[in-house]
């Protein structure tokens, strides 16, 4: 399928290349360290949870972003498992949706239909399987949102899938913690909660439940800006908090402790590495995973007209800077983004005009979402 599609689409590639190559360039929109072509302006109206056919139609079918999403779209998606928090099928299904809609926009209907079928088959499989036994709310938070975004992108909507999403959000009870995904999202100020936030945003956006989306956004923004919303439960070790009497998800701008900048650090994730130390800072991957949930939620909310990028004194930018720049320079490369966290950097660059992603392969997926190919538009 992949080779046939590449052969048939060469005229489209050529046309898009000429369109981009001849367009006007600005310093803000031109090539970056990743070697992008000048970025097109986004459509006047934004629709869709993660992307839309109208947006994808403006993007080239070449380059590292396209190759990454095309490769993943071609992977096996026949055994989705939302109870396995490490299953990548959810992201491969999202990739298949992106490729399907890009091909449809180019008029390649047969290839588009084949990729769309992968999305539909996977979604219908998880609906048939229902609640996975013995799984954790963290798995549901990581896994389910991508299926909602993929279904939305290809225009798949059934009453059965809508019921499934409602049950996954508010009906399934985790046997270990006796919580629903919704309840977990509003009590865990760490990667569990942020992964839940990303998927809850995807679910509510898919269901068109703007009231629920507003509510969950407002609760998390109260906690981000401080003081923390009622219900969030912090660990006993508050040593990484800028103010232990006023715990927050991301430390406020400009805060310092014993000569170490706490600005942008995520206390609940840092403590899981070790208690506070200004000299011996234990490496931990939890802050990166938490940001995966945050960035997924931020993109969805922005597209729903409820942006959060500027909240908390640009808290998400500060959280990335704290890891990618400050701690990396102070403590070494173990604090730099790597692996399935890299995709975050490109979305953050698109939101803030930064260049965290420079000279890095950021085009893949994470645990819950990814594929910055969809975000390659100029900043207005």
**In-domain check, residue 242:** yes
**In-domain check, residue 146:** yes
Closest CA to 34 of 328, 364, 379: 364
Q: How much is the mean pLDDT over the chain?
A: 91
Q: What is the pLDDT of residue 380?
A: 55
* Percent share of the chain, pLDDT over 70: 90
Q: What is the pLDDT of residue 44?
A: 86
Q: What is the pLDDT of residue 378?
A: 80
Per mean pLDDT, which range of 34-38, 137-141, 338-342 is the poorest? Answer: 34-38
Q: How far apart are CA 91 and CA 113, in angstroms?
A: 18
Whether the per-residue pLDDT at 11 is higher than 80: the answer is no
Q: Which band of pLDDT confidence, cut at 50, 70 and 90, is reported for residue 36?
A: low
368: containing domain: 2-375
Q: What is the pLDDT of residue 16?
A: 36
Q: Which band of pLDDT confidence, cut at 50, 70 and 90, is reported for residue 175?
A: confident
Q: 257 pairs with which residues across the strands?
A: 260
Secondary structure (DSSP) of 145-214: HHHHHHHHHHT---HHHHHHHHHHHHT---TTT---HHHHHTT--SHHHHHHHHHHHHHHHHHT-HHHHH
Q: Are 363 and 346 in contact (CB under 8 A)?
A: yes
Q: What is the pLDDT of residue 147?
A: 99
Query: Domain total for the chain?
Result: 1
Whether the per-residue pLDDT at 29 is higher than 80: the answer is no
**In-domain check, residue 55:** yes
- For the chain, the residue count is 380
Q: What is the pLDDT of residue 61?
A: 97
**In-domain check, residue 380:** no
Q: Which band of pLDDT confidence, cut at 50, 70 and 90, is reported for residue 37?
A: low
Three-state DSSP at 285 gives coil
**In-domain check, residue 44:** yes
Mean pLDDT of the region 28-45: 63
**In-domain check, residue 72:** yes
**CATH number (domain holding residue 264):** 1.50.10
Whether the per-residue pLDDT at 217 is higher than 60: the answer is yes
Non-local (6+) Cβ contacts of 344 within 8 A are 288, 291, 292, 295, 320, 337, 366
**In-domain check, residue 293:** yes
């Amino acid at each position: 399928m992949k080779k046939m599609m590449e052969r048939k689409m060469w005229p489209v590639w050529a046309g898009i290349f000429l369109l981009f190559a001849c367009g006007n360039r600005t310093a803000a929109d031109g090539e970056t360290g990743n070697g992008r072509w000048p970025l097109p302006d986004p459509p006047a109206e934004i629709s869709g949870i993660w992307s839309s056919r109208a947006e994808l139609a403006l993007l080239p079918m070449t380059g590292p972003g396209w190759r990454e999403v095309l490769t993943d779209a071609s992977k096996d998606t026949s055994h989705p498992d939302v109870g396995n928090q490490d299953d990548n099928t959810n992201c491969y299904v999202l990739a298949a949706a992106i490729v399907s809609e890009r091909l449809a926009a180019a008029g390649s209907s047969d290839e588009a239909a084949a990729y769309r079928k992968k999305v539909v088959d996977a979604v219908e499989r998880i609906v048939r399987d229902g609640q996975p036994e013995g799984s954790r709310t963290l798995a549901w938070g990581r896994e389910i949102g991508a299926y909602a975004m993929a279904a939305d992108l290809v225009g798949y909507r059934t009453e059965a899938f809508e019921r499934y999403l409602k049950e996954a959000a508010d009906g399934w009870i985790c046997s270990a913690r006796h919580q629903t995904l919704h309840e977990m999202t509003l009590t865990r100020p760490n990667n569990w909660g942020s992964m839940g936030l990303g998927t809850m945003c995807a679910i509510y956006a898919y269901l068109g439940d703007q009231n629920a989306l507003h509510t969950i956004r407002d609760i998390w923004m109260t906690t981000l800006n401080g003081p923390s919303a009622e219900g969030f439960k912090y660990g006993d070790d508050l040593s990484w908090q800028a103010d232990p009497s006023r715990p927050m998800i991301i430390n406020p701008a400009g805060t310092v402790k014993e000569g170490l900048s706490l600005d942008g650090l995520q206390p609940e994730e840092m403590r899981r590495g070790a208690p506070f130390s200004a000299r011996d800072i234990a490496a931990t991957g939890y802050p990166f995973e938490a940001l995966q949930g945050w960035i997924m939620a931020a993109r969805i909310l922005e597209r729903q007209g409820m942006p959060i990028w500027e909240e908390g004194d640009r808290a998400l930018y500060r959280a990335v800077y704290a890891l990618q720049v400050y701690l990396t320079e102070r403590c070494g490369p173990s604090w730099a983004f790597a692996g399935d966290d890299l995709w975050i950097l490109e979305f953050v660059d698109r939101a803030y005009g930064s260049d965290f992603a420079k000279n890095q392969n950021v085009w893949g997926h994470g645990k819950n979402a990814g594929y910055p190919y969809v975000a390659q538009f100029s900043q207005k």
